A and B are shown apart, each in its own frame.
Chain A
Amino acid sequence: MLLARVISICMMSCLVAGVFGCASVDARASTNVTVRLWDQKVAEAYRASFDKFEALHPEIRVDVRVVPWSDYWTLLRTDIASGAVDDIFWVNAANYRPYADSGDLVDISEALPADAESAWTPQVVAQYTHGGRLWGVPQLTDPGIGILYNANHLREAGLSPEALNALYWDPRSKGDSLRAIAKTLTLDINGLNPESVGFDPSKVRQWGYSASNDLNAILLQFLGSNGASWQQGDSFTFDTSAGREALQYVVDLIAVEGVAPPASDTNPPTGNDAALRLFLEGRLALFQTGAYNLANVQESVAFDWGVAEIPVGPLGAISVTNGVVAAGWAGTEHPTAQREVLGWLGSVEGSKPIGSHGAALPAVLGAQSEYFEYWRSNGVDISPMLDVLGNGSIQAPRGNRYAAAEEAYRPIFNQIFLGDLTVSAGLRAAQAAANDAIE
């Protein structure tokens, strides 16, 4: 009868699905190490790197899994909590502390030989050292933030790329070169810029500069270049007069000068990639971003582009620099194999593909030349992103409960950018909310 038939079909499909499941497990390798990260480009580089590793260690098989950024931290937490996470996973400075504190991460200072650290970028090692121990193998280090420019737009505006070297911003003057140049590069569908009569702000076909509520690419640089800070230690300290000045300047670029897309488009989290997409579509002249977007741009754009240094502020051009590490899961079932893979990731051989694929700048010092070579051979000089770090840097986001703080301050910052809150009221509220959240 019907029900019996249906149930037996279900049992059969269970069996079939089970068989398929088993068949997909590779019978060759005796140990399977999995690696989790959020960057698709680096994942491809890892695949090449691990192919080499597997050739050297035939008994270990390494699988790479990509999780979208928007889900990464949720999945990491629930998977660690349920004891079913990958053996190796990426963490960043803003999010790794809770896991270090709760003993879920492998202590790299013990797991790998002591001299391994000397091969890595010191700033990244310092960023992930807590309680005297190192909590991950440095994988990526950001060069500083830079400006990607659309060479065609510059040419049409009568500007040479060298003109961007003179970019400076000054919250107290009315005529700094950032505003002037950005306005020249902002065009509506009739080819008029904001300085001309008849400019229609609702029909802009090309934006001049990517000012937005982007902490890593925009805010930290303006704060640092004006002598303000984001955090000191774990506490949030951006509500100072220097901080208010800097933020007001950025907000005005959007709302007053009209050289950047509306905040409703670029506010996080939905607007995270808005500026990137505009740049790729050829609708943004100056895209301030980090090296993490270089590969995206290079494979998608049809126009000439280059890299310039970020605008100089009252206290110079100060950028943030960040690192990403590959952390080991303390609860792994294959500690020996896991250590092998971690060691490989921290080696020059293992990290070279990250650079040679142009995916990111490796934190392993000996592998970094690959990255510069890659861009040089593609006709792009990325030295402005590195040179800016010579001026010093602003502290990157950190702390044990940073995720909670971000949940608290981000909506307030969004409101500031939308014009629903004034900068002074908003910064005061945001700093209070963020500091409350981390208690």
Chain B
Amino acid sequence: MGKGTGVALLALPSTLGIVLFALLPVCVVLWLSLTQWDLLGVPEFVGLQNYTTMFGSEVFWGSLVATSVLLCVVVPAELILALLIAVPLSRKFRGATLIRSILVVPWVAAPIAIGVIWSWIVAPDGGLVSQLVGSRIDWINDPSGAVAIVAIAIVWTNVGYLSLFFIAGLNTIPQEIGEAAMLDGAGSARRFVSVTLPLMRPTVYFVAVIAVAQQASAFDQIWALTGGGPSGATDVVAIKIFANAFQTFDLGGASALSLVLLLALFVLTLLLARRVGASHGH
């Protein structure tokens, strides 16, 4: 047991780290959400006032809608595209590693810089698309256009990285199963859908959890592209937290919003994680 404790001590600093900087803040945000604070004074206890204001505010519900819309567009797109790319990339051929690395490049770059570059690409004045087409293409200032562009930029950033997970998952499928399907005479697309895909289910759910968690916190690209979108179309919860806290200086309200985000994500990942657990049972 002495040895055991000695090794355990090695984990002490990092444990202190997550207690202080991951777990404690959750308690703090709960407390802060019951106060009103504008950064200049001290937080003042106001009970549930921030919550009643928030749930009665159209802007809040609009933000939830915007977050959900973006989530439902981005995550499936990411999963499908990442899977599509992973299938050919999971085989060994000349240049496979190189292509995999190239696809990961967007994930290495700063999301805010990616947002800035995309803001130039779609800019109505002097932007890449407008210049190439010859006339002013202004989709970024249209609510649906803004959602589409933001979704494209985010999916573009993440697909390569997520495909790595699918590649790993595909490589764990034993060859025999594919061969057996071939002998049965199944075509390759059919083989994929009825044999490979079901076997990939745990991986798919796992990657979905990662994608959802990432998207819930998505901020940088949206901030650089729209700052919250025309008519609140891209005003996701993460953006609203920042805007409420550091532009309107309502940190109590921002904390209430943060708590909502935490709870929503907790529920979502719990639901998805159950699926992961269930599929592993196969």
Contact = CB atoms under 8 A, between A and B. Distances in A.
> Are any A and B Cβ atoms less than 8 Å apart in their complex?
yes
A306 interface: no
B280 to A, nearest CB: 35
Contacts of B41: 102
Nearest to A82: B39
A420 interface: yes
Residue from B38, B135, B227 having most chain A Cβ neighbours under 10 A: B38
Q: Which 10 A-B pairs have the closest CB atoms?
A: A264-B141, A81-B39, A102-B40, A407-B248, A74-B246, A404-B248, A77-B39, A415-B231, A74-B247, A98-B40
Given A203-B135, A407-B243, A415-B231, A264 B40 contact: no
Interface in A73-117: 73-74, 77-78, 80-81, 98-99, 102, 104
Interface string A259-293: 00010110101110000010000000000000000
B40 A411 contact: no
A80 B38 CA distance: 12
A265 B40 CA distance: 35
B43 interface: no
A403 interface: yes
Nearest to B225: A270
A414 interface: yes
Contacts of B169: none
Given A265-B124, A265-B141, A77 B246 contact: yes
Contact of A73 (B226, B230, B243, B247): B247
Given A77-B249, A267-B141, 10 more contacts: A78-B246, A81-B40, A102-B41, A104-B40, A262-B138, A264-B230, A404-B248, A407-B247, A407-B248, A415-B231
A348 interface: no
B250 interface: yes
Contacts of A48: none
A78 B247 contact: no
A203 B134 CA distance: 12
B75 to A, nearest CB: 27
Given A74-B247, A77-B249, A265-B141, A99 B135 contact: no
A396 B191 CA distance: 71
A270 B141 contact: yes
Interface string A239-272: 0000000000000000000000010110101110
A102 B41 CA distance: 7
B141 A403 contact: no
A180 interface: no
Nearest to A404: B248
Interface of A: 73-74, 77-78, 80-81, 98-99, 102, 104, 203, 262, 264-265, 267, 269-271, 277, 403-404, 407, 411, 414-415, 418, 420, 437
Contacts of B135: 203
Interface residues of B, number: 22
A264 B142 contact: yes
A78 B231 CA distance: 27
A28 to B, nearest CB: 36
A403 B39 CA distance: 14
Contacts of B178: none
A407 B38 CA distance: 15
A422 to B, nearest CB: 15
A262 B125 CA distance: 14
A337 B38 CA distance: 30
B38 to A, nearest CB: 7
B127 interface: no
Most buried by A among B135, B142, B232, B247: B247
Contact of B40 (A73, A99, A407): A99
B40 A403 contact: no
B234 to A, nearest CB: 12
A404 B246 contact: no
Contacts of B124: 265
A270 B227 contact: yes
Contacts of B141: 264-265, 267, 270-271
Contact of A265 (B59, B138, B247): B138
Interface in B202-251: 226-227, 230-232, 243, 246-250
Given A404-B248, A420-B231, A77 B40 contact: yes
Contact of B230 (A203, A267, A437): A267
Contacts of B246: 74, 77-78
Contacts of A271: 141
Contacts of B249: 77, 98, 403-404
Contact of A80 (B40, B227, B247, B250): B40
A429 to B, nearest CB: 9
A403 B248 contact: yes
A414 B231 contact: yes
Contacts of A77: 39-40, 246, 249
A418 B231 contact: yes
Nearest to A283: B125
B38 A98 contact: yes
B49 to A, nearest CB: 12
25 contacts: A78-B39, A80-B39, A98-B40, A98-B249, A102-B40, A203-B135, A264-B141, A264-B142, A265-B124, A265-B138, A267-B230, A270-B141, A277-B125, A403-B247, A403-B249, A404-B249, A404-B250, A411-B59, A411-B231, A411-B232, A414-B230, A418-B230, A418-B231, A420-B231, A437-B248
